[in-house]
């Protein structure tokens, strides 16, 4: 029965941040591709290949990579990043944040959100929040209408989701579709999912073809952001194309990453399989 359900869900295309197949109304809080969406049991069975060796030997790493090389492998086989507060920290399904890391300077950027109430997911790190405000202002000047959807997500929230899945499915099975706490980039406070009224505030790949999505792909780097999950790079990033997921890395690197058209993993010389 359970298998059948998972197989059914397999046929849906659920992205890392999207609300998944059951997201008709509004963008849910973003969750890693593999985990549940809020209180719903929306699942995508991760393709194991996502975590395998990419075979790419080329190292395009920059100085930032060296800063982060002294890292340890934890009991669960994941690498624990040693500089979680770095603007260039690389977090993915194999690289987790330490313990219950909470970014030190979370604040709510002064940009429009698709909802009005206070919510932790409105937050970002201070520097990223200021940059996001500039990005939104620039978009507005160009006649575009960006709307923020989901930023910071706590370790505890991810843990809650993950543990609920373990209760239901057992740990082994859960690990095949649910992100472990500490492995979501949203926990860094450097990510924000953005959408638009045209998208009915949903997080879907078609956003990349809208004026807002195209503008972001072209201009986000001017304000220190990159489109974190670019097309066709799931084997490297662990995620499908997500034109809505902005990651702040700072202007020192954003333009370079953009111009090289590489993932953050490639840029800094990390791969999901680096264990
Ligand atoms: Zn996201």
User: pLDDT by residue (tens digit) across 74-129?
Assistant: 887 889 999 999 999 999 989 999 878 999 999 999 999 999 999 999 999 999 99
Residues 6 or more apart whose Cβ sits within 8 Å of residue 214: 208
For residues 228-255, give the mean pLDDT.
93
Is residue 274 included in any domain, yes or no? no
Token digits for 232?
A: 């066709």
**Is 199's pLDDT higher than 50?**
yes
CA of 56 to the centre of ligand 1 (A): 25
Ligand 1 centre from 152 Cα, in Å? 9
The single residue listed with the structure tokens 């994941």 is 78
Cα–Cα distance measured from residue 201 to residue 25, given in angstroms and rounded to the nearest whole number: 9
109 found inside a domain: yes
Give the residue with greater pLDDT, 70 vs 7.
Answer: 70
Give the CATH number for residue 118.
Answer: 3.30.1380.10
What's the pLDDT band for 17 if we cut at 50, 70, 90? low
* pLDDT number for residue 95: 94
Is 275 part of a structural domain of the chain? no
Is the predicted pLDDT of residue 38 greater than 80, yes or no?
no
State in Å: Cα 182 to ligand 1 middle.
Answer: 14
Full DSSP string of 230-271: -TT-HHHHSS--EEEEEEE--HHHHHHHHHHT--HHHHHT--
Q: Where are the beta strands (DSSP E) in the chain?
A: 72-73, 79-80, 95-96, 106-107, 124-125, 146-150, 191-196, 225-229, 242-248
Alpha carbon of 67 to ligand 1 centroid (Å): 25
Residue 273 falls inside a structural domain: no
Cα(34) to ligand 1 centroid in Å equals 13
Residue 10 lies in a domain: yes
Q: How far is the CA of 246 from the centre of ligand 1 (A)?
A: 7
Cα(190) to centroid of ligand 1, in Å? 10
- Tell me the pLDDT tens digit for each residue of 156-194: 988 887 898 899 999 887 766 667 889 999 999 999 999
Q: What is the mean pLDDT of the chain?
A: 79
Residue 132 alpha carbon to ligand 1 centre in Å: 14
Q: Ligand 1 (ion): which residues have CB within 5 A?
A: 17, 30, 193, 245
The answer to whether position 151 is within a domain reads: yes
Q: How many CA atoms are closer than 13 Å to the CA of 77, on its beta-carbon side?
A: 6
Band (239; pLDDT cuts 50, 70, 90): confident
Measured N-to-C along each axis, helices 126-141 and 211-219 cross at an angle, to the nearest 10 degrees, of 120
Helix (H, G, I), strand (E, B) or coil at 27: coil
The rounded Å distance from CA 136 to ligand 1 centre is 17
Cα–Cα–Cα angle for 118, 123, 129, rounded to 5 degrees: 130
Average pLDDT over residues 225-249: 93
Instruction: Give the structural domain span for 207.
Output: 2-51+60-268
Asked whether residue 185 is domain-assigned, the answer is yes
Q: How far apart are CA 200 and CA 66, in angstroms?
A: 42
Q: Is pLDDT of 255 > 60?
A: yes
3-state SS class at 92: strand
Query: For the chain, how many structural domains are there in total?
Result: 1
Q: Per the domain annotation, does 122 fall within a domain?
A: yes
Dist. CA 1 → ligand 1 center (Å): 31
Q: Are 202 and 150 in contact (CB under 8 A)?
A: no
Looking at per-residue pLDDT, the higher value among 15 and 170 belongs to: 170
User: Ligand 1 centroid vs 6 CA: distance in angstroms?
Assistant: 23
Q: How far is the CA of 244 from the centre of ligand 1 (A)?
A: 7
Q: Which residue has the higher pLDDT, 61 or 72?
A: 72
């Amino acid at each position: 029965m359970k298998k059948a359900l998972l197989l059914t869900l397999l046929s849906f295309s659920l992205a890392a941040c999207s609300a998944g197949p059951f997201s008709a109304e509004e963008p849910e809080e973003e969750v890693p591709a593999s985990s549940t969406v809020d209180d719903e049991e929306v699942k995508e069975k991760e393709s194991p290949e996502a975590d395998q060796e990419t075979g790419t030997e080329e190292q395009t790493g920059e100085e930032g990579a060296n800063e982060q090389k002294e890292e340890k492998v934890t009991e669960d086989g994941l690498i624990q990043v040693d500089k979680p507060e770095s603007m260039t920290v690389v977090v993915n399904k194999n690289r987790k944040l330490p313990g219950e890391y909470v970014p030190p300077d979370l604040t709510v950027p002064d940009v429009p959100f698709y909802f009005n109430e206070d919510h932790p997911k409105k937050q970002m790190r201070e520097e990223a929040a200021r940059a996001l405000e500039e990005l939104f202002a620039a978009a507005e000047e160009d006649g575009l209408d960006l709307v923020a959807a989901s930023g910071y997500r706590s370790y505890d929230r991810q843990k809650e989701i993950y543990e609920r899945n373990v209760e239901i499915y057992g740990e082994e099975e859960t690990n095949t579709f649910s992100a472990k706490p500490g492995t979501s980039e949203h926990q860094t406070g450097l990510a924000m999912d953005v959408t638009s009224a045209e998208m009915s505030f949903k997080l879907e790949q078609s956003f990349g073809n809208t004026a807002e999505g195209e503008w972001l792909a072209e201009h986000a780097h001017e304000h220190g952001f990159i489109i974190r999950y670019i097309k066709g790079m799931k084997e490297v990033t662990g995620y499908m194309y997500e034109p809505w997921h902005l990651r702040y890395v700072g202007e020192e690197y954003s333009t370079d990453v953009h111009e090289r058209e590489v993932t953050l993993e490639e840029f800094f010389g990390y791969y999901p399989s680096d264990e």
